[in-house]
Amino acid sequence: MALHLSLFLLLIFYRLSAGWHVSVQTGGSISFPCSYDLNHINHVKYWCKGLGWDVCSYVVRTDHPKSSGKNSISDDINKRIFTVTMTGLEPEDSENYRCVVEINGGPDIRIQWFYLSVTPGTPELYVDHQEVTGVEGGSVTVRCYYSNTGDMKWCRMGGDCVSGFSGTLNGTSVTLKRTSDANNRKALTVTMSGLKMENTDWYWCRVGELEMPVHITVSQQTATQRSSKMTSTTQDPTTQQPSASPTAEPVQTDNTSQGAEGNMEEVHQRPIDVKVLLISLGMLVVVTAGILVAWKMWRKHKDNKAENQPIITSADRFPDNDDVTYSTVVLKRKTQQKLQTKSAEPDDNVVYSSLALQVTTQHRAAAAQQLLTERRPWLSP
């Protein structure tokens, strides 16, 4: 009885002490990343199953055929990561697993422990796709579906984590958002924007004590992709079969996001011609407004100038000049002409006497006759 209790406690201890807890649905597949030190590039790596060294049996090794049944292993010496993929999982595959580096002439180095739980129902934490690809400068979106509780984080393997609502990882913007779909599946939606080539790596979606590894690959834009982006042709969404467990199949997510049913829903981009049209209209409005403002300012300046301009009088036109001598004769003649003209004009307010006019006429006639006689004596009687 005591032995059974000790074994039970030992099982619980190893499960709790395992580095990462991963949940997969029966029949599904899962990939585990294992990073190692630079000094172990040329060493053999292997994946073993068991609680302790004495019972940790080999599953697959890098120095043997790299696949054994439904398990396979690959070693990327440039990234210093070896990856183990397990497919067609059954409940009996639920166990503790280890990433190990073999050391000749010494104890092997245990890199990481995992506890794998294979369940016939929906896993407590899973993603639609473990392999996600994007292009440099673009973005990727990963949805981590969960039914458990606990702190939620998005972490880079061997690096920092982002929790809360937003943050950065290696200079790349990361946003976290809790959502739910039409089937009431709760999801932690992770979006990485402004991707860089160095963002290619393994990441972990963590909710409580459960974790799910996701590999993101960032590639450079091809000429076709650049041309497609310039012409703003959006890609059709790729239809995927609904999946309740993670798979290792790649999916392009630069211009798409993972749908609630495992489908890819397209993120429509604004056509480039519409952008150009809107920019042109905006510039036209700005230029027109500038012209109107300049015209109003010019009119206002012109009006102010007219108001401030001095009135020129006759005195200003003919200023007094001591060097000029004016003729008094001309002035007198003009004055006499004005007086004669004025005296010759009849005045309606004066009543003239006909008798005075007759006498005046007779005097004028007599004076004229006398003058004529003096000049021409032969005309006298």
Domain of residue 171: give its range.
124-223
| Tens digit of each residue's pLDDT (9 = 90 or more) over 275-316 | 557 787 888 998 899 899 998 888 888 877 766 666 555 445
- The predicted structure's pLDDT at residue 365: 74
Reported confidence tier of residue 19, pLDDT bands at 50, 70, 90:
low
Specify the pLDDT at position 252.
Answer: 40
CB 152 within 8 A of CB 204: no
Tens digits of residue pLDDT in 48-81: 998 776 678 889 999 987 787 899 999 999 999 9
| pLDDT, averaged across the chain | 74
Whether residue 167 lies inside any domain: the answer is yes
Number of C-beta neighbours around residue 8 at 10 A: 10
Q: Is the pLDDT higher at 304 or at 333?
A: 304
Answer whether residue 151 is part of any domain.
yes
User: What DSSP line would sit under 218-244, residue for residue?
Assistant: EEPPPHHHHHHHHTTPPPPPPP----S
Q: What is the pLDDT of residue 346?
A: 52
Instruction: Specify the pLDDT at position 257.
Output: 34
Q: Does residue 170 form part of some domain? A: yes
**Given this model, what pLDDT does residue 230 score?**
60
Domain contains 96: no
pLDDT at 232: 52
Work out the average pLDDT over 22-28: 94
Query: Band of the pLDDT at 370, cuts 50, 70, 90?
Result: confident
Q: What is the pLDDT of residue 353?
A: 46
Question: Considering the entire predicted model, what is its pTM?
Answer: 0.56
Q: Is residue 19 part of a domain?
A: no
Does 146 have pLDDT greater than 50? yes
Determine, yes or no, domain membership for 309. no
Q: Average pLDDT in the 235-240 region?
A: 43
In a domain, 150, yes or no: yes
Q: What is the mean pLDDT of residues 140-154?
A: 93
Note the pLDDT of residue 279: 81
- When mean pLDDT is compared across 32-41, 91-100, 167-176, 215-224, the lowest value belongs to 215-224
**Residue 55 and residue 29: Cα distance in Å, rounded?**
24
- Please give the pLDDT value at position 369: 72
What is the C-alpha separation between 47 and 112, in angstroms, rounded? 10
Mean pLDDT of 149-162: 91
Predicted confidence at residue 248, as pLDDT, reads 38
CA–CA separation, 142 vs 126, rounded Å?
11
The tens digit of pLDDT for each residue in 191-217 reads 999 999 999 999 999 999 899 999 999
Least confident span in 118-132, 299-313, 338-352: 338-352
**In the chain, how many domains are there?**
1
Confirm if 96 and 15 have CB atoms less than 8 A apart: yes
Rounded to whole angstroms, how far apart are CA atoms 82 and 75? 4
8 Å CB contact between 116 and 236: no
How confident is the model over 248-258, as a mean pLDDT?
39
Question: Within a domain: residue 314?
Answer: no
Range of lowest pLDDT (19-23, 137-141, 200-204, 252-256): 252-256
Average of pLDDT values for 328-342? 51
> For residue 8, what pLDDT is reported?
40
CATH of the domain at 152: 2.60.40.10
For the chain, what percent of residues have pLDDT higher than 70? 62
How many Cα atoms occupy the beta-carbon half-sphere of 109 within 13 Å?
13
Among the listed ranges 35-39, 138-142, 180-184, 348-352, which one has the minimum average pLDDT value?
A: 348-352
pLDDT of residue 270: 36
> In Å, what is the CA distance from 112 to each residue of 17, 157, 160?
11, 12, 17
* Alpha-carbon span 73 to 59, nearest angstrom: 10
* Residue 168 pLDDT class (50, 70, 90 cuts): very high
